[in-house]
A and B are shown apart, each in its own frame.
Chain A
């Protein structure tokens, strides 16, 4: 079946550092790829998405590129802030007609220190 693997944390960085959180996937067909963010005590929020190969999703300074050749969707940000501290989840969905839920990675806890 489909699966998502992402680096486990916690990942601790200083403010203004460069961020990369790795995500790779195994899936049949052509899935859509997502990054979700979860702040303490809250539900998940969609951060960005990409629906086909070479698409780049971006939002709030974060970006990720759908790389089919390496089955990857790594999350990057050029300069992190303390407010970016959260748990980040990579996920996939089987695209067209696939209303059957998301497959999630285990999450990466990001801690940004001032």
Chain B
């Protein structure tokens, strides 16, 4: 039981390049989330998927797209990376009602855009 896994762990991009961050969970959770963590800002929600087949914007969605590929996998895509997207990205998952169970987080992807 691996929980929530993310790939890659580290990535360096040049401005304008694109990439996809991968996330998978093996806990049969319905809901999945992408957050970014910046110094002094805490974690901010980028996108979430309450259930397979649905996605919704969070607090900071600009510059990102997501795909809920199936119940296990939820990817985050940067189409044209910008230095402002330098951050640590965390994927999380939870049972249907997040408020009751809390969320389980992956180990993170540290992204640097130069």
Query: Does A34 reach chain B (CB closer than 8 Å)?
Result: yes
Stretch in A61-69, A70-78, A88-96 touching the partner: A88-96
Task: Check A95–B43 contact: CB distance below 8 A.
Answer: no
Query: What does the 1/0 interface line of B59-101 toward A look like (CB < 8 Å)?
Result: 0000000000000000000000000000000101010111110
Do A106 and B40 form a contact, CB below 8 Å, given A44-B105, A99-B94? yes
Instruction: Give Cα A95 to B95, complex, Å.
Output: 12
Task: Check A43–B107 contact: CB distance below 8 A.
Answer: yes
Task: Check A46–B58 contact: CB distance below 8 A.
Answer: no
Q: How far is the CB of A35 from chain B (nearest CB, A)?
A: 10
Name A98's contact: one of B45, B97, B102, B104 (CB within 8 Å). Answer: B97
Q: How far is the CB of A95 from chain B (nearest CB, A)?
A: 3
Do A102 and B107 form a contact, CB below 8 Å, given A43-B90, A44-B90, A107-B42? no
Of A4, A44, A96, A101, most buried by chain B (CB within 10 Å of CB) is A101
- Enumerate chain A residues within 8 angstroms of B31, measured Cβ to Cβ: 99
- Enumerate chain B residues within 8 angstroms of A51, measured Cβ to Cβ: 99-100
Q: How far is the CB of B74 from chain A (nearest CB, A)?
A: 13
Task: Check A100–B43 contact: CB distance below 8 A.
Answer: no
Instruction: Give Cα A99 to B29, complex, Å.
Output: 11
- Enumerate chain A residues within 8 angstroms of B98, measured Cβ to Cβ: 93, 98-102
Name A100's contact: one of B42, B50, B105 (CB within 8 Å). Answer: B50
- The 7 A-B residue pairs with the shortest CB-CB distance in the complex, in nearest-first order: A95-B99, A43-B105, A32-B99, A101-B45, A93-B99, A104-B42, A106-B42
